[in-house]
């Protein structure tokens, strides 16, 4: 008798065998590519803190959206920069905001590409916080109307889905009811439901010029030590009408993704954020890791943890690998 009788290595003996038994596979269908739009004309400006990413003016963003779609990617997540900032972030909810212009351009050029928009005030407020500030504190409830207005103008411009990232209490419900009142019952909501107060957002805040001018986001974004609270946040957002629940960041929070997958029966999205992206880029640039291999392994790990939707700056590169 040979010892041992069972041998897991048998099913790893060839690529054909490994393919046969592989449980998790990435597909291009899972990918969402974030895009940044800025005021101006004929702008395509590299974002210094985020390798391979650009700021596009609305007149140039359709070409990037078309390239994204040509790689088989089905959705983009749109972020905007304001023309000017003020205390209430009023540039965020103008009908002709930069984001609204960009949505129209993308929808004109590539109508089938899903346009998801980030809904939050931090890039638009002069204090850099995601909500209104009153006497040095976040003013939750009056912020909800502004977020709902922002979601509405994006929807009117043609967005298919809105993604509130502000972490105010009650925003999903307010956005849902405002959209429904105006007849936009088909606009989906992907809520940044379990969004942590994370140091991994650093490169993005440089890109979006959205770093808080004073203090931090710990009174609204979640404490990294908490896991049960993420379940509460997600349950509340579901009850308020969220269609998709997001966990953010992804890699340091794979346990949260796994719990979300087990606890809820709606699609789970994970945001592989700017700091996670740039750590890999930086390590690859130093020759420490193989960029392509580590990119695919990382994205696979997020999917294996339970995410259905992967929001990643690697989307275009990953789509190229998957097409081979
Ligand atoms: C704005 C927002 C942030 C990100 C997405 N939307 C930054 C923040 O909350 O400070 C982070 C994205 C990334 O790091 O890639 N609320
Ligand atoms: Zn914000």
Write out the chain's pLDDT in tens, 324 residues. Answer: 677 888 899 999 999 999 999 999 999 999 999 999 999 999 999 999 999 999 999 999 999 999 999 999 999 999 999 999 999 999 999 999 999 999 999 999 999 999 999 999 999 999 999 999 999 999 999 999 999 999 999 999 999 999 999 999 999 999 999 999 999 999 999 999 999 999 999 999 888 888 898 899 999 999 999 999 999 999 999 999 999 999 999 999 999 999 999 999 999 999 999 999 999 999 999 999 999 999 999 999 999 999 999 999 999 999 999 999
Q: Is 204 in the pocket of ligand 1 (CB under 6 A)?
A: yes
Domain ranges of the chain: 25-322
CATH 3.20.20.70 holds for 25-322: yes
Q: Is 298 in the pocket of ligand 1 (CB under 6 A)?
A: no
SS3 (DSSP) at 76? strand
Instruction: Give the integer Cα–Cα distance in Å for 324 and 319.
Output: 9
Give the pLDDT of residue 214.
Answer: 87
- Which ligand lies nearest the alpha carbon of 207? 1
Give the pLDDT of residue 104.
Answer: 98
Q: Is 307 in the pocket of ligand 1 (CB under 6 A)?
A: no
Distance 179 CA to ligand 1 centre (A): 24
pTM to 2 decimal places: 0.97
Active site residue 137: no
The phi-psi region of residue 256 (left if phi > 0; otherwise alpha if psi is between -120 and 50; otherwise beta) is alpha
Residues β-bridged to residue 248: 195
Q: Would the CA dihedral through 61, 243, 165, 257 be positive or negative?
A: negative
Give the pLDDT of residue 280.
Answer: 98
Pairing of β 188-195 and β 244-248: parallel
| Ligand 1 atom with minimal separation from the 201 CA | 14
The residue whose CB lies within 8 Å of the most ligand 1 atoms, and thus the one to mutate among 92, 162, 165, is 165
Give the pLDDT of residue 6.
Answer: 86
Active site residue 316: no
| Ligand 1 atom with minimal separation from the 212 CA | 10
The residue from 85, 105, 248, 303 that is catalytic is 248
Contacts (Cβ under 8 Å, ≥6 apart) of 1: none
């Amino acid at each position: 008798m040979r010892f041992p009788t069972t041998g897991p290595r048998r099913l790893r003996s060839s690529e054909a065998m490994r393919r046969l038994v592989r449980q998790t596979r990435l597909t291009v269908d899972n990918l969402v590519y974030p895009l940044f739009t800025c005021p101006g004309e004929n702008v395509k400006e590299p974002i210094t803190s985020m390798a391979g990413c650009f700021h596009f003016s609305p007149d140039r963003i359709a070409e990037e959206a078309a390239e994204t779609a040509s790689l088989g990617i089905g959705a983009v997540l749109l972020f905007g920069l304001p023309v000017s900032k003020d205390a209430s972030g009023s540039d965020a909810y103008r009908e002709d905001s930069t984001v609204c212009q960009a949505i129209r351009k993308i929808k004109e050029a590539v109508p089938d590409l899903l346009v998801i928009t980030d809904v939050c005030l931090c890039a638009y407020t002069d204090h850099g916080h995601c909500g209104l500030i009153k006497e040095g504190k976040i003013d939750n409830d009056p912020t909800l109307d502004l977020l709902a207005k922002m979601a509405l103008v994006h929807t009117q411009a043609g967005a298919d889905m809105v993604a509130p990232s502000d972490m105010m209490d009650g925003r999903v419900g307010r956005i849902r009811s405002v959209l429904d009142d105006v007849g936009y019952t088909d606009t989906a909501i992907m809520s940044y439901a379990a969004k942590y107060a994370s140091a991994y957002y650093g490169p993005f805040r440089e890109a979006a010029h959205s770093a808080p001018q004073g203090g931090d986001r710990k009174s609204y974004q979640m404490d990294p030590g908490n896991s049960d609270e993420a379940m509460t946040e997600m349950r509340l957002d579901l009850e308020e009408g969220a269609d998709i629940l997001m966990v953010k960041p992804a890699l340091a929070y794979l346990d949260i993704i796994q719990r979300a997958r087990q606890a809820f029966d709606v699609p789970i999205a994970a945001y592989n954020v700017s700091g996670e992206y740039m750590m890999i880029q930086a390590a690859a640039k130093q020759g420490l890791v193989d960029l392509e291999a580590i990119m695919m392994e990382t994205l696979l790990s997020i999917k294996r943890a339970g995410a259905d939707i992967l929001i990643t700056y690697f989307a275009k590169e990953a789509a190229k690998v998957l097409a081979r």
